[in-house]
Amino acid sequence: MKRRTIRRKVQNMVLMISIAALIITSIVGIISMMRIQYDSENALIKQMEQNLNNITVSKSGLADSELGKFSEYISNFAIYINDIYSFPSDFVSRDVKPPLSENAGIFVIQRMLRDENVKLDDVYGEISMFGNLEEIWGPVMKLNNGTITTIYAGTESGFLVGYDDQSELGADNGKDIYYDYTQANWYKLAKSEGKTVFTDIYEDSYGRGLMISCASPFYNARNEFAGVVCMDILIADLYYAVLNLDLGDDAYAFLVDGSGKIITPPDWKEDFNVLSQDKDISPKVADEILSGMTGVLLSEKNRIYYAYTPIETTGWKFCVKIPESLILAPVRDVNRNIILTIISFMAAFIVIIAMVFIISRKFSEKLTSPIISLGHDVEKISGGNLDYRAEIHDNDEIGDLAKSFNDMAASLKEYVKNLAHVTAEKERISTELNLATQIQADMLPRIFPPYPDRKEFDLYATMNPAKEVGGDFYDFFMIDHDHLALVMADVSGKGVPAALFMVIAKTLIKTRAQMGGSPSEILADVNRQLCEGNEADLFVTVWLGILEISTGHVIASNAGHEYPAIKKKGGDYELLKTKQSPAVATMEGLKFRQNEFDLEPGDIIYLYTDGVAEATNSDEELYGTDRMLEDLDKTKNTSSEEILKLMKKSVDDFTGEAPQFDDITMLCLRYFGGKIL
């Protein structure tokens, strides 16, 4: 049969790849159109931002120029008044009357007194000299065609001279009227700043709308502060003359004064107390406007662009507000056409995908039929029927795979046969290890209390191996009626070798101790016997102590083992640190040191192996003897059994989920002496 490879079959997919290429091309086209839409919007917004920035800077410059004109007027007025004080002979006295109703609607200079304490006779000469101001105030008022509503000058000597057409509002049948202008904001601001200043926007008391005042201090011939000259300027006239913009519906310019108030056309009402309280403007935009910077930002709250720049003359901010939708209006038709094109592409995609689905389904059925058949054959083999063989349909890669599965089934059958043998052997070893564990446990004293008739002491011990069998061991036994031997030992290594060495060491120590002698003599003989034929170079650390029960006297020898912890009655646990000897079975002919100490009634001795002090948690932190002593102190006034249970819990709580790497063996003896405490 002619061999047909999968590669040849895959070549038949070229047609399908062509269709896929068409789809990809269409997708690229859609993405390109969306990109054009995105780029056009970005370009339009970028151009708008540049235009807005130019407009705000330009208009702000015009505003600065216009306001600078008023500032120049006021500065010249202040110089003129200084000349009146410095060169009075150059001026003619002029009669200045109080407000008269007959002058209503006529621009005329008139006087006011600060309060009743100011006598007209005392200041009239100075007032008559101020009458000359009409010569320069009148032309300026006419030139600005109503933008300037009032010009006035207040003095420290107690009078105010003003120039406006509102005489009837203050007239009192020719009598002098009083107005404490020194408390007015314009007067105090110019006096404290010592230069030409602009006030914040305020509502005119005569109902003419919102306005600002431009004020400047003036000085007498001795260069002493003499008063303030000021003019009132209508904001609406200033706005429509300089700042008015034609930006389309819902777009306009507005001002923010020095206190942060928003001033908007056309009625110039305060829409909000301050800019930062405007709920439609994001805090970021408000902060940028108030910072005095120049820029353009989008407020995410209402999708409105704000262009802003400072007006240097007054410290205000000129702002332009324009909705994003107004900016993007030119690209709406383009977007509509793009959306229609995308919908057409989507419809074409659906048709092409349907065709591809039909073709690919027929192709996949033909291609995967042998694979499905092979899958069923493999299921039977994986179900345990290793004698079953897969059917080979074609002479191609799938046929090769079927042959491989048949070979695998034969190999697996042989492997299962071998695995059954290995498993049986492993179970045998596991059974023997469990038996060894039981034997080792049975070798250690496990009946407590061990000597129920002896009331002079309370004794308890435990051993928890790290593996099935361990190398730690403890022991205690009566040498005679008055002497009790205590043993705590740790064999080097782990597992079965250490357990066998432990059995020998334990047996030799007990046998030799019951023959009599001191701990040092006992360990010396045991060392000699263990060194004989010790080809594995194992050794054992041992603490051996012999307690004289009647007196509490202890003779002990420490062969490389952990220091025991002793608790004296009424005190805390402390390590009994004495000179140590080398571990048993490390060298032939060793001599072992021994030490002596006494236990008083109520004292406790705690013996342990390094599996306690060197217990490690998941952070690689050691339990340590300091923590061990702290936890022992928490177990005062309880039985030996309870002490060991609490200590084992403390170690387990410390190590947590970390595995136990070493045997944990402990022994505790409470000494009562001649009578029960």
What pLDDT score was predicted for residue 677?
45
Does residue 595 form part of some domain?
A: yes
What pLDDT score was predicted for residue 548?
96
pLDDT in tens, 239-249: 776 666 666 66
What pLDDT score was predicted for residue 438?
59
The arithmetic mean of pLDDT across residues 624-635, rounded, is 94
Does residue 646 form part of some domain?
A: yes
3-state secondary structure 140-172: HHHHCCCCEEEEEEEECCCEEEEEECCHHHCCC
Residue (of 138, 176, 139) closest to 160 by Cα position: 176
**pLDDT-derived band at 1, boundaries 50, 70, 90:** low
Tell me the pTM. Answer: 0.45
Does residue 607 form part of some domain?
A: yes
pLDDT at 231 over 90: yes
User: What is the Cα gyration radius of the chain?
Assistant: 54
Query: Cis peptide leading into 217, omega within 30 of 0?
Result: no
Residue (of 261, 274, 163) closest to 212 by Cα position: 261
Give the pair of three-digit tokens for residue 356: 């591809």
User: CATH no. for residue 480?
Assistant: 3.60.40.10
Straight-line distance from the first to the last Cα atom of the chain, in angstroms, rounded to the nearest whole number = 101
Spatial distance between the Cα atoms of 302 and 281, rounded to a whole number of angstroms: 7
Query: Cis peptide leading into 139, omega within 30 of 0?
Result: no
Spatial distance between the Cα atoms of 220 and 84, rounded to a whole number of angstroms: 8
**pLDDT-derived band at 468, boundaries 50, 70, 90:** low
Give the pair of three-digit tokens for residue 372: 């499905």
pLDDT in tens, 525-579: 999 999 988 888 899 999 999 999 999 999 999 999 999 999 998 899 999 999 9
In a 3-state reduction of DSSP, which class is residue 231? strand
The arithmetic mean of pLDDT across residues 634-663, rounded, is 90
Torsion on CA atoms 345, 346, 347, 352, rounded to nearest 10:
90
Does residue 634 form part of some domain?
A: yes
User: 17 versus 575: which is more confidently predicted?
Assistant: 575
Question: What does residue 207 show for φ and ψ, rounded to 5 degrees?
Answer: 80, 20
pLDDT at 266 over 70: no
Does residue 424 form part of some domain?
A: no
What pLDDT score was predicted for residue 363?
64
What pLDDT score was predicted for residue 268?
46
pLDDT in tens, 282-332: 778 778 888 878 888 887 777 888 888 888 777 788 888 888 777 776 666
Q: Is 105 left (phi over 0), alpha (psi -120 to 50) or beta?
A: left
Domain containing 599 equals 444-671
The arithmetic mean of pLDDT across residues 413-422, rounded, is 70
Does residue 559 form part of some domain?
A: yes
Does residue 529 form part of some domain?
A: yes
Pairing of strands 664-671, 316-323: unpaired
**pLDDT-derived band at 651, boundaries 50, 70, 90:** very high
DSSP assigned state of 385: -
What pLDDT score was predicted for residue 547?
97
pLDDT at 35 over 80: no
* One-letter amino acid of 670: R
Number of domains, the chain? 1
What pLDDT score was predicted for residue 271?
46
Spatial distance between the Cα atoms of 295 and 654, rounded to a whole number of angstroms: 62
What pLDDT score was predicted for residue 272?
44
3-state secondary structure 472-523: EEEEEEEEECCEEEEEEEEECCCHHHHHHHHHHHHHHHHHHHCCCCCHHHHH
Spatial distance between the Cα atoms of 674 and 529, rounded to a whole number of angstroms: 38
Does residue 613 form part of some domain?
A: yes
pLDDT at 265 over 60: no
Locus of tokens 């919007």 = 41
User: 11 versus 486: which is more confidently predicted?
Assistant: 486
